[in-house]
Amino acid sequence: MMHDLNSGTLQIFLVEDNPGDMLLVREALAEHGLIFELEVASNGERAIEYIDALDGDDTRPCPKIMLLDLNLPRKSGEEVLKRLTVSSRCSGVPTIVITSSEDPHDHQMAERLGVSHYFRKPTDLNAFMALGELVRSLLEKSTASGN
Amino acid sequence: MFDDSLRSILSTGQGNTIEFDLPGPNGVRHFVADATPEFDENGRVASVLTSSHDVTDAKRAEEGLRAMNDELRRANEDLNQFAYSASHDLQEPLRMVAVYSQLLARKYAGKLDEQADEYISYTIAGAHRMEILVRDLLAYTKAVSISDLPKEGVDANAVLQNVIANLRGAIEDSAAELVYGELPCVKVHDIHLVQLLQNIISNATKYRRPERPRIVIGAAGDGECWRFSVSDNGVGIPAKYTEQVFGLFQRLYSAAEFPGTGIGLALCRRIVERYGGKIWVESEVGRGSTFYFTLPA
């Protein structure tokens, strides 16, 4: 189904355990004019339960994009990504990893598991706000391709 | 034990040394015995001269020294690990302070009173300075975490081109002229040579006089080493500080005059000494400095 970014509310799924970063993500999305509803899971286990629930209920709407931290309590971001790749309904959802990790292994793992973009959490506010632009452009791309 | 020693001397004609322990009134004593053959006119072993020495004290001192060395090495490793973890784990809370102070400024600058704006600006500046400190401290502790020696040499010409690309902003801003010829290959990890040249060249663009900086990079053979030199026409370093500048957190200027963390040259020294080399500076205030360092060929 085609989706116009400027009409209606976007469903966005955020997996993040740091309340400070949750708020920054909201700021970044709002700054780029996105109207969104944010579903937040504060640990990896809840994120996997959310994907399980979506797979088990066709009537629930899938998120348009997923934003995922890697270093999470209970289940890691890597485990969430692995679950996502075998999801019957969410495997095609564009995913942005949002992390402080500089470890090249994390970057390679994210690429291997089909992540659309690897966003390093910056200390500069403008650089963090650019996340909103990144989300917007990924959504536009995904809308154009009819996903 | 003595029988074996004697048998060996009789069959080979060569002296030997054996170590043995004997019980004493205050515990076991350690001895070393040298057995030397004496020959008759036909070249056969006629007798064996044996002399024994009590080496208990020397042995205890040696064991004590080894234990102390092990303890020191462990303490050093722990300290490095602590410094690395501390600076690594500092990054996350620091990022929160940095980003949120900027957000506070963006949303509320001009809406509070003048004093509040000033407080916020100091918070932002402090967080930024801390960020640079943590980054440099991490680089410093990482420099010693690579424990193996490289198998291959690294081409200093290629490393210099990387460094010039990394410092493009600073070189362009200062309009620095870089002069260099052919550089050698050296047996170090390339990241270490990058850090060395980058810190010294970056300093040369920073601690400049009003005139255009001229930085000359060269290398000359020095026995089994190469001696690199980086000369500049900058502000120079007073003679009494030419050793101190290589100390951790040592700075000659206030942040307002020349910003910095006092880690760069300490990092350079740590890298060079890791490879058994030396680093030093010759300088004249108002004329410039030449930094020298040696690395294995």
Which of the residues in chain A have pLDDT under 70? 1-7, 146-147
Q: Tell me the per-residue pLDDT of B191-248, one tens digit each, with 9 for 90 and over.
A: 899 999 999 999 999 999 999 999 999 999 988 999 999 999 999 999 999 999 999 8
- Predicted local distance difference test score (pLDDT) of residue B288: 96
Contact indicator for B162, B194 with CB cutoff of 8 Å: yes
Number of H helices, E strands in chain B: 7, 10
CA–CA min distance A71, chain B (Å): 12
- Predicted local distance difference test score (pLDDT) of residue A135: 96
CA–CA min distance A125, chain B (Å): 5
- Predicted local distance difference test score (pLDDT) of residue A5: 64
Helices A77-85 and A44-55: crossing angle, nearest 10°? 10
CA B99 to chain CA centroid, Å, is 34
SS3 state at B144: coil
Contact flag A100-B95 (C-beta cutoff 8 Å):
yes
The stretches of B109-182 forming alpha helices (DSSP H) are 114-143, 156-166, 168-174
> Cβ-count burial of B85 within 10 angstroms (0-12 exposed, 13-18 middle, 19+ buried)?
exposed
Distance in angstroms (rounded) separating the CA atoms of residues A14 and B83: 33
Q: Which amino acid is at A38?
A: L
Chain A residues near residue B96 by CB distance under 8 angstroms: 18, 20
Distance in angstroms (rounded) separating the CA atoms of residues B96 and B81: 24
- Predicted local distance difference test score (pLDDT) of residue B1: 67
SS3 state at B164: helix
Provide the 8-state DSSP code for B86.
H
Q: Which stretch of DSSP H or E encloses residue B276?
A: none
Q: Pick from B92, B124, B94: which is nearest to A99 by CA? A: B92
Contact flag A123-B103 (C-beta cutoff 8 Å):
no
Contact indicator for B104, B57 with CB cutoff of 8 Å: no
Enumerate chain B positions whose Cβ falls within 8 A of a Cβ in A: 91-92, 94-96, 98-100, 102-103, 106, 127-128, 131
Helices B114-143 and B56-108: crossing angle, nearest 10°? 150
- Predicted local distance difference test score (pLDDT) of residue A145: 72
- Predicted local distance difference test score (pLDDT) of residue A3: 47
Beta bridge partners of B218: B229
- Predicted local distance difference test score (pLDDT) of residue A114: 93
By Cβ distance, the residue of A18, A100, A124 closest to B91 is A100
- Predicted local distance difference test score (pLDDT) of residue A2: 41
Chain A residues near residue B102 by CB distance under 8 angstroms: 124-125
Helices B56-108 and A125-144: crossing angle, nearest 10°? 70
- Predicted local distance difference test score (pLDDT) of residue B48: 85
By Cβ distance, the residue of B91, B106, B131 closest to A125 is B106
- Predicted local distance difference test score (pLDDT) of residue A1: 37
- Predicted local distance difference test score (pLDDT) of residue B249: 83
- Predicted local distance difference test score (pLDDT) of residue B77: 79
- Predicted local distance difference test score (pLDDT) of residue A108: 95
Chain A residues near residue B106 by CB distance under 8 angstroms: 125
Which of the residues in chain B have pLDDT under 70? 1, 144-147
CA–CA min distance B129, chain A (Å): 12
Distance in angstroms (rounded) separating the CA atoms of residues A70 and A100: 9
CA–CA min distance B120, chain A (Å): 14
Q: How far lies A113's CA from each of A138, A146, B103, B116, B128, in Å?
A: 17, 22, 33, 47, 34
The pair of structure tokens assigned to A13 is 């799924």
Q: Which amino acid is at B163?
A: V
Provide the 8-state DSSP code for B245.
G
Q: Which stretch of DSSP H or E encloses residue B224?
A: none
- Predicted local distance difference test score (pLDDT) of residue A7: 64
Distance in angstroms (rounded) separating the CA atoms of residues B198 and B160: 8
CA–CA min distance A9, chain B (Å): 25
Reported pTM: 0.66
What's phi and psi for B209, nearest 5 deg?
-95, 175
Q: What is the CA radius of gyration of chain B?
A: 30
- Predicted local distance difference test score (pLDDT) of residue A6: 62
Contact flag B99-A24 (C-beta cutoff 8 Å):
yes
Distance in angstroms (rounded) separating the CA atoms of residues A89 and B12: 85
